């Protein structure tokens, strides 16, 4: 699946999980901590969507805030929310979020959280952790709320003009920094359901990247 992609194999990490089979059907470097760019927002979203009524945001429109952060990838909003999470708990934001992940049984080895937007290249996540978080959210009471917050292929947000062949079938969070690409979310193909996480820490041309994603989903 990744052999024909023009980057070193140690610079890319992928996990694809099948909900129908109840198992991971493809994994490559899934435990390798890499710079996640805006995929860091997924952790902020997961924490807030579950703790909204108990947080400083009670009374604010949850769907609107989460959609602005995920679908539109609002960095300023994500960083503000990140700061408020720590302040509300009188702890560091990274400490609160790591404790949240551990409580959900998500492996945190190698994870480093320095901001909420994913702009810092000191941030590190694994595709294994992201995928497990996506599985947890999909199986939780917050599934519909979370899906509504994500960009949708060919329809809205950062994917409005991307992956047109998969219109309304892919719900995901994109991520981009110099020499960093990240893409994590869900793929609904007929009656089959998948979640996936892809992180690349290597310079790759835009057209090669999107061609790779198109080919990847065509295999499923």
Q: Say if residue 21 is exposed, middle or buried (CB neighbours under 10 Å; 0-12, 13-18, 19+).
A: exposed
Rounded Cα gap, residues 211 and 103, in angstroms: 37
The dihedral formed by the CA atoms of 65, 67, 72 and 78, expressed in degrees to the nearest 10: 40
Separation of alpha carbons 198 and 209, rounded Å: 11
Question: 59: phi > 0 → left, psi -120 to 50 → alpha, else beta; which?
Answer: left
- What is this structure's pTM? 0.95
Burial class (CB in 10 A: 0-12, 13-18, 19+), 31: middle
Instruction: Note the pLDDT tens digit of each residue in 126-173.
Output: 999 999 999 999 999 999 999 999 999 999 999 999 999 999 999 999
The mean pLDDT value for 172-188 works out to 98
Mean per-residue pLDDT, 188-192: 95
**What would the two tokens of residue 89 be?**
């708990």
pLDDT tens digits for range 38-50: 999 999 999 999 9
- The full set of domain ranges for the chain reads 9-219
SS3 217: helix
Cα separation, 156 vs 144, whole angstroms = 16
Q: Which region holds residue 205: left if phi is over 0, alpha if psi is between -120 and 50, else beta?
A: beta
pLDDT tens digit sequence for 84-109: 999 988 999 999 999 999 999 999 99
- What distances in angstroms separate CA 141 from CA 17, 46, 100, 117, 135, one per listed residue? 20, 12, 17, 25, 12
- Cβ contact 30:126 at 8 Å: yes
CATH T-level assignment (fold) for domain 9-219: Beta-lactamase (3.40.710)
């Amino acid at each position: 699946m990744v052999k024909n992609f023009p980057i070193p194999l140690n610079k890319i990490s992928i996990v694809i999980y099948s909900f129908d089979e109840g198992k991971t059907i493809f994994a490559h470097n899934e435990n390798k901590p890499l710079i996640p760019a805006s995929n860091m927002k997924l952790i902020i979203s997961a924490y807030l969507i579950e703790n909204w009524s108990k947080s400083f945001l009670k009374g604010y429109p949850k769907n609107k805030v989460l959609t602005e952060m995920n679908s539109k990838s609002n960095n300023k909003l994500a960083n503000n929310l990140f700061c408020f999470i720590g302040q509300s708990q009188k702890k560091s934001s990274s400490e609160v979020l790591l404790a949240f992940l551990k409580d959900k049984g998500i492996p945190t080895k190698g994870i480093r959280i320095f901001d909420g937007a994913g702009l810092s290249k000191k941030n590190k996540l694994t595709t294994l952790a992201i995928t497990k978080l996506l599985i947890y959210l999909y199986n939780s009471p917050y599934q519909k709320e979370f899906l509504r917050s994500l960009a949708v292929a060919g329809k809205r947000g950062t994917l409005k003009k991307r992956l047109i062949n998969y219109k309304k079938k892919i719900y995901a969070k994109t991520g981009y920094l110099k020499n960093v690409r990240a893409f994590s979310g869900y793929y609904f193909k007929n009656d089959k359901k998948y979640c996936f996480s892809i992180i690349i820490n290597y310079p790759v041309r835009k057209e090669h990247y999107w061609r790779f994603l198109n080919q990847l989903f065509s295999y499923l």
